Amino acid sequence: MAVTTIIAAEPQQKPVRILSVNRRILLGAWRMPSFRVGVFVFLALLLVSAIYPEVSAISATKMIVKDKFLPPLFLGEKWVWNHPLGTDQLGRDMLMRSLIGLRYSLLVGVVTVVVIFVIGCGLGLFAGFKGKWWDIVIMRITDAQLSIPMIILAITILGVSRPTVLTIIIVLGLSGWPLYARVARSAAVAERGKEYVRGLRVLGAGDWRILLLFAAPNILPPIAFVAVLDVARMMIFEAILGFLGLGIQPPTPSFGSMIADSRKYLINAWWIATIPGIFLAVALTSINLMGSALEKARNRVFGGL
Instruction: Tell me the pLDDT tens digit for each residue of 151-176.
Output: 888 888 888 888 888 999 998 988 88
Q: How far is CA 264 from CA 61, 68, 69, 272, in A?
A: 20, 15, 13, 10
For residue 36, the SS3 value is helix
The neighbouring-strand residues paired with 198 are none
Q: Rounding to the nearest 10 degrees, give the CA dihedral for residues 133, 134, 137, 143.
A: -120
Quote the pLDDT of residue 154: 85
Give the model confidence (pLDDT) of 202-252 as tens digits. 777 777 777 777 777 778 877 887 788 899 999 999 999 999 888 888 888
Give the model confidence (pLDDT) of 271-303 as tens digits. 999 999 999 999 999 999 998 898 888 888 777
- Give the list of residues 6+ apart from residue 193 with CB closer than 8 angstroms, or none: none
Quote the pLDDT of residue 265: 87
Quote the pLDDT of residue 7: 47
Q: How far is CA 200 from CA 134, 207, 215, 229, in A?
A: 22, 9, 11, 35
What pTM, to 2 d.p., does this model score? 0.86
Say if residues 143 and 132 touch (Cβ distance below 8 Å).
Answer: no
